[in-house]
A and B are shown apart, each in its own frame.
Chain A
Amino acid sequence: MNGEPTRIAAPVALGASASPDSIRRAPTVKLRAYLLLAAAGMVGGLAAGLPQLVALAAPFAAYVALGIALERRPRLTVSAEGWPDRALEGHDVSGAVRIQADTAVDRIELELRCGAGVTSQGPLRQVLRLGEGQQEEVGTALQVDRWGARHLGTLACGVSDGFGLIRYELAPVSLGAVRVFPRGETLRELINPLEEQATTGSRVSRQRGEGIEFADIRPFVPGDRIRKINWRVAARYGTPYVTERHPERNADVILFLDTFAEVREGAGSTLKLAVRAASSLAAAYLARRDRVGVVGFGGALTGLGPRFGQVQQYQILDALIGSEVIFSYADKDVRFVPRQMLPPKALVIAITPLIDERFIGALVDLRARGYDIAVLDVSPVPLAPAGKTASDVLAHRLWLLRRAALASRLGELGVPVTEWRGEEPIQVPIISTSALRRRSRTLAA
């Protein structure tokens, strides 16, 4: 999955439709206007004794009478077909609307009402004319701006008779709901954990044991396998030497998502960035056969324990698209997180805007418990620019200084903090984090 955008299952057809039985009939503005004009002319003519006024109003009355007398109830079926139930953030969602007319219909008005967060690529209103027994399929494409569960919208269908006096409204047809997965990014380098787990994986461990990658050569000791003897070195020194290798292990990676608070401005949001980062990281780590789990730590605690495989990736995506900030005054700490979600020796990647003290406290607590932590700071700074007054600018500078001090304090605790503003690929802060971790290990050594 690494390097590939999230794969989506095949579209599923929806059977939403509006049948002829659900037609509602109503007079149009034109009918009311012509009736009023006809009545006014007739009454005026009678009152004033002027047959000319009656003659002026008579065509309107005749038009209404003819239109109502020749009215035929339309019979048509509108159905939405081929709309997918899964999509990728920012990608088009296309489907069709099929209209089957059992009677000739002079004017069919289709109006698409998009759901929240959904925009249309084509015209929202279309007018058709169908003969008896004809059917028409109108295709359209929608774009979903943000991940999450979205209602695509409804299609309102109105039919006017040939005279435009009576309008028939069909029950709106739902286009269904779509689960929009966050857009993933290609990650070539990842943050390596300090310790691996005991199970086999694709990650070359720092430990020595059975493996492929060369680690060292040492003298033979009783108990070593004969097949491990390095015969060239043994021949050169005259005593047996064995080759040591690095075993291939996997790691447990926990994506620790801050859902206490978010900063939002227009279409931008720290939670949106956080979910995008978590999605990319989950896909990349799972592709390397690591076990990945996700914990949404906020007003409501959500999460998945670490597991392998593609099924886990879809479960993580499902968990991520349900991420939302739930405001809460409750004082929470990591004791609330089930132990299965935070296994020992796991690499915890915290994705947070660093604005809620409870989450920062949880990070410090986890570090004190010996967890290997890296912080990806989805920066709220671009979303909260300085005000215009001098005091606003000063307050903004103080806020920036406080954030820098916080990052420095966490760095001193062995928790590297890397800022990501969402403008550059997520690979950039990941590489920076890896470099920071290497530097801190070198300094510690």
Chain B
Amino acid sequence: MSGWLVIALTAGGSGLIVAAVWARWPALILWGLAALGSAYAGGVASGRDVWLTTPLVAAALLALGEASFYGAERASGTDYSGRQAARVLLAALAGLVVSAAVLLAASIAVPSSLVLTLVGTLAAVLAIALPSVRFRRRV
């Protein structure tokens, strides 16, 4: 991916997130985060040292998502700024740990394709099955 495309994706993603918070339109945040993630993926493809930066970027993206959703769904009369800041920090820390753990698992001496297959299968099953089971239950 060319440098200009990475810059454009970064700028576009940031703009989308700012617009989502400003216009209180949470649906835009997905596209903003996706654009930022794609920009980072472009950096990954360009061969930079990603083993160190990936957990940081993952944590930053999650923290950015949390802060953006809070900003887009804010309401008058809220006094949760402190609690929300702590929650964002906690999410970032947890994201850092999870991301690093995934990378660590991928770097151990087993075929990476096996790890990826296992992780992908597990994630797909979780992503599809868990919400389906939860939301099928009547309240």
A residues bordering B, Cβ < 8 Å? 23-25, 27, 29-46, 48-65, 68, 71, 73, 107, 109, 123, 125-129, 164
Contact = CB atoms under 8 A, between A and B. Distances in A.
Contacts of B120: 42-43, 45-46, 54
A23 B137 CA distance: 13
Contacts of B41: 44, 50, 53, 56
Contacts of A36: 30, 34
Interface in B29-43: 29-30, 33-34, 37, 40-41
Contact of B131 (A27, A52, A123, A125): A27
A143 to B, nearest CB: 19
B40 A40 contact: no
B2 interface: no
B75 A35 contact: no
Contact of A61 (B73, B78, B127): B127
A129 B61 contact: no
Closest 9 A/B residue pairs (Cβ): A59-B95, A51-B106, A33-B30, A55-B102, A29-B26, A55-B99, A127-B75, A58-B102, A42-B123
Contacts of A129: 80
A68 B134 contact: yes
Contact of B58 (A29, A40, A42, A59): A59
Q: Chain B contact residues: over half helix, strand or loop, or mixed?
A: helix
B44 A33 contact: no
A184 B73 CA distance: 45
A33 B27 CA distance: 8
B85 interface: no
Contact of B98 (A24, A59, A71, A127): A59
Nearest to B33: A37
Contacts, number: 159
B62 A52 contact: no
B54 A56 contact: yes
A60 to B, nearest CB: 6
A327 to B, nearest CB: 43
B126 A61 contact: yes
Contacts of B123: 38-39, 42, 54, 57-58, 61
A253 to B, nearest CB: 51
A33 B37 CA distance: 13
Contacts of B73: 164
Given A62-B94, A68-B134, A123-B76, 9 more contacts: A33-B30, A41-B37, A50-B44, A51-B116, A59-B61, A61-B123, A71-B134, A123-B77, A127-B75
Contacts of B103: 51-52, 55
A42 B135 CA distance: 23
A29 B27 contact: yes
A62 B33 contact: no
A107 B98 CA distance: 27
B98 A62 contact: yes
B61 A42 contact: no
B91 A37 contact: no
B55 A55 contact: yes
Q: Chain A contact residues: over half helix, strand or loop, or mixed?
A: helix
Number of chain B interface residues as a range: 35 or more
Contacts of A48: 45
Contacts of A24: 139
Nearest to B69: A30
A59 B116 contact: no
21 contacts: A32-B30, A38-B123, A42-B123, A43-B120, A44-B41, A49-B112, A52-B103, A53-B41, A56-B57, A57-B123, A59-B58, A59-B61, A59-B62, A59-B91, A59-B96, A59-B99, A61-B126, A62-B94, A64-B130, A125-B77, A127-B75
Interface string B2-20: 0000000000000000000
Nearest to A33: B30
B23 interface: no
B69 to A, nearest CB: 5
A27 B26 CA distance: 13
B127 to A, nearest CB: 5
Nearest to A168: B139
Of A29, A50, A52, most buried by chain B (CB within 10 Å of CB) is A52
B30 A58 contact: no
Contacts of A44: 41
B130 A68 contact: yes
B93 to A, nearest CB: 10
Nearest to A20: B139
A132 to B, nearest CB: 17
Nearest to A42: B123
Of A31, A38, A53, A71, most buried by chain B (CB within 10 Å of CB) is A53
A25 B139 contact: yes
Nearest to B115: A51
Contact of A40 (B34, B70, B91, B106): B34
A54 B119 contact: yes
Contacts of A107: 80
B86 interface: no
Nearest to B62: A59
Contacts of A42: 119-120, 123-124, 127
A260 to B, nearest CB: 47
A27 B40 CA distance: 28
A389 B44 CA distance: 70
Contact of A126 (B33, B77, B80, B99): B77
